[in-house]
Each structure stands twice: as C-alpha cells, then as structure tokens.
C-alpha cells in the first residue's frame, strides 16, 4: 500500500468534492483545506443538519451507548488486553464524588479519531497531522445529522446466508447496496452510516465461556470488506462517518488490506465501533423507515485518539 504524501495537500479545491477515482492514491488530503482536521465531518453542513431535524417524527430517543464496562470481558485492544474501568466512589458529608481509574475511551461504544491510526509508511495521520490536534476537534463542533441504518444482519438472514458473530464474514459493496435498496433508503452526501452485523445480539446470547474465548485472542467477526471498492463506495456516497455494532468495523482478522487506513488516514472518515444497534433496528423495522436524526458528542480530550461515542438516535 502506498501512503498519502504531503504533495497531495493542495491538489483539489474545497468544491466540488472529487470522486474517489480522481483522488491521487485514494487520498483526500487537502480536499477540505490544507489545515483541515474534520475530514468528511465537513459534509455535516448547517443546512443538512437542519434538514435532518425534520426526520424527527415520534420523538423516540434511542441511546446507542453500552455501559462503560461492556462488553465483559472486554475485547483486546491494539496495545494489549483492556480492563474495565474501576469506579472509585468518594463520599463527603452530604454527597458523593468519584473518579474512573483505568478508563479506556475506546474499549466500548466508541468513535475513532484520526490520531488512532497513522499511515504505515509516513507515520502521519489524516491530512499530514503529526500528532496534534486530536479528537477535541470533533468535540468542539459536535456530530449531528442524518443517520441511516443498514441492517445487514437482518437482510442477509432473509437472503439465506445469515452472518455469524464469530465468523469472518466480509460484507461487500454489493451487499450494502442491496440492503439499502431493501430498506428503500438512500445514502446521501452527509449521511452518518450505521451498519448492523448482529454482533451485539451474538455477544448477548453467548455463554460466558464463548465470551471468554472471544476476548482471549484477536477478534474474529463479520464486518465491512477491506477493499478499494469499499473505500470508493463510502467516499462517493459522501458518508460523513460510519459505525458498526462489532468491535472492528471491518471484517476481522485483517488480511491483505486494513480499511482503517483507507478511512481514517486517507479519506478522513471517522469510524464508530461497538455501537448498540439492536433496539434501533427493531424500532426502524417497526416504523418501516431507516433514517433518523443522530447526534454524537465525543469527549473534549485534547490530543485524544478516540472517545466514547455518546450517540443518540431520534426517530
């Protein structure tokens, strides 16, 4: 794989946004400005956010966030085994204070910022970032807009090829397109795309021994196919961010290509993992609509590589 290089930085003007095949090496550095650190979150314009508010019909609010100690046991991270945070409770006359020890913002329902992954050749993050700023840039603007759920788990089961939460089933571009058509929903520019593969349901239905086994080694799970075609589809759709209910977004283990590099480093598309999508999927099925108003408020952590997602869907 060839990493992005700084000479791409001023290759394209801010408008119009070029198609993926016009990006040098599949790299969008400079598309949103030489110093940009928002990437495709720039597509969440005030006009699009205002239009997305019109999707609120019933006012039903669904939290997409798991408890901070979920999943338990927690999944291994890139630097080793994670432990759930220790909730230290402190009392004082008339009340209580507290703090969290051993808190990993990317252990549960999370949003990966651009510092989470760097280019394997240059060591730089999106748009040439060498290590600052971090997730605080996302936090300062907030992530608010039109959400779309593609319930690939339900669609695939209907096609007679159900996904297995412990098997590396790669979801292709054709799968996403067919699922969107089945839901009769469009993925337009500025969409926050959520993809359900059934991992949450699989984990919750598993025995304690299955959970321990799944957490003891590199994750094995269904997810997005890591391919130039997938990167192209997400960019050309104009996805502002993409999230999944598994712990990796892409099918894992990684094989020849790491989709995180394409999305986080080259294209500036934030990634969400371990979002709780089962209740949302049930509500969307009941309402026969798969678009909604969505908010995500990352932690304002200076220099942070990621954050708890703090995401809400409002139907």
Could you tell me the residue ranges of all domains in the chain? 6-314
Write the secondary structure of the chain as one string of H (helix), E (strand) and C (coil). CCCCCHHHCCCCCCCCCCCHHHCHHHCCCECCECCCCCHHHHHCCHHHHHHHHCCCCCCCEEECCCCCCCCCCCCCECCECCCCCEEEEEEECCEEEEEEECCCCCCCCEEECHHHCCCCCCCCEHHHECCCCCCHHHHHHCEEEEEEEEEHHHHHHHCCCCCCCCCCCEECHHHHHHHHHHHCCCCCCCCEEEEECCHHHHHHHCCHHHHHHHHCCCCCECEECCCHHHHHHHHHHCCCEEEECCCCCECECCCCCCHHHHHHHHHCCCEEECCCCHHHHHHHHHHCCCEEEEEECCCCCCCCCEEECCEEEEC
pLDDT value for 8? 40
pLDDT value for 134? 97
Which mean pLDDT values do the consecutive 10-residue runs of the chain (315 residues) have?
40 69 97 97 98 98 97 85 89 96 94 96 95 97 98 98 96 98 98 98 94 84 98 98 97 95 98 98 98 98 97 98
pLDDT value for 3? 43
pLDDT value for 15? 60
pLDDT value for 302? 97
pLDDT value for 4? 45
- Asked if CATH classification 3.30.360.10 holds for the domain at 6-314, the reply, yes or no, is no
């Amino acid at each position: 794989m060839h990493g992005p290089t700084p000479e791409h930085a001023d290759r394209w003007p801010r408008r119009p946004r070029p198609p993926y095949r016009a990006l040098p090496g599949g790299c969008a550095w400079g598309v949103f400005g030489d110093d940009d650190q928002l990437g495709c979150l720039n597509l969440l314009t005030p006009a699009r956010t205002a239009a997305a508010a019109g999707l609120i019909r019933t006012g039903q609010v669904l939290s997409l966030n798991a408890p901070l100690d979920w999943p338990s046991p927690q999944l291994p991270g890139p630097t080793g085994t994670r432990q759930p945070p220790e909730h230290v409770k402190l009392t004082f006359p008339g009340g209580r204070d507290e703090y969290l020890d051993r808190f990993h913002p990317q252990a549960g329902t999370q949003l990966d910022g651009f510092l989470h992954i760097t280019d394997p050749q240059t060591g730089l993050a999106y748009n040439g970032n060498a290590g600052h700023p971090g997730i605080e840039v996302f936090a300062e603007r907030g992530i608010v807009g039109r959400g779309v759920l593609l319930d690939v788990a339900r669609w695939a089961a209907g096609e007679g090829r159900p996904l297995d939460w412990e098997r590396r089933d790669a979801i292709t571009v054709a799968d996403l397109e067919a699922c969107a058509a089945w839901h009769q929903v469009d993925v337009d520019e500025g969409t926050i795309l959520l993809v359900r593969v059934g991992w949450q349901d699989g984990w919750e239905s598993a025995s304690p021994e299955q959970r321990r086994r799944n957490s003891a080694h590199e994750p094995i799970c269904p997810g997005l196919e890591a391919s130039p075609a997938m990167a192209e589809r997400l960019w050309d759709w104009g996805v502002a961010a993409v999230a999944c209910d598994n712990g990796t977004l892409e099918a894992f283990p990684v094989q020849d290509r790491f989709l995180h590099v394409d999305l986080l480093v080259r294209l500036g598309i934030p990634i969400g993992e371990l979002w709780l999508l089962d209740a949302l999927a049930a509500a969307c099925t009941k309402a026969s609509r798969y678009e909604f108003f969505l908010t995500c408020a990352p932690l304002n952590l200076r220099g942070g590589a990621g954050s708890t997602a703090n995401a809400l869907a409002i139907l």
